[in-house]
């Protein structure tokens, strides 16, 4: 995660734990997220979907281009 952009760019995150769930009770999932500079945490994008959720990702990648874009 050290190489992930922390400038607000949206990326695809592999989240191994969601902060609102006790450890071991959330299933890993791929979500679109971004590094929130003010609170220094990974957040779901768009943020209004779940403002309270803290993400604990283990991997990231750039978002793929939408279909039809080259």
Q: Tens-of-pLDDT digits for all 70 residues of the chain?
A: 899 999 999 999 999 887 777 777 778 889 999 999 998 999 998 877 777 788 889 999 999 988 987 6
Task: Please state the φ and ψ torsions of residue 56, each to the nearest 5 degrees.
Answer: -125, 75
What is d(CA 51, CA 69) in angstroms, rounded to the nearest whole number? 31
Q: What is the pTM of this model?
A: 0.80
| Chain Cα centroid distance, residue 65 | 17
DSSP strand E in the chain: where? 11-18, 29-36, 41-44, 55-62
């Amino acid at each position: 995660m050290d190489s992930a952009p922390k400038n607000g760019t949206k990326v695809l995150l592999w989240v191994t734990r969601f902060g609102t769930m006790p450890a071991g009770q959330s299933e890993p999932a791929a979500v679109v997220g971004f590094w929130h500079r003010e609170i220094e945490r990974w957040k779901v994008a768009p943020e209004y979907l779940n403002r309270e959720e803290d993400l604990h990702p283990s991997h990231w990648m750039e978002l793929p281009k939408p279909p039809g874009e080259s």
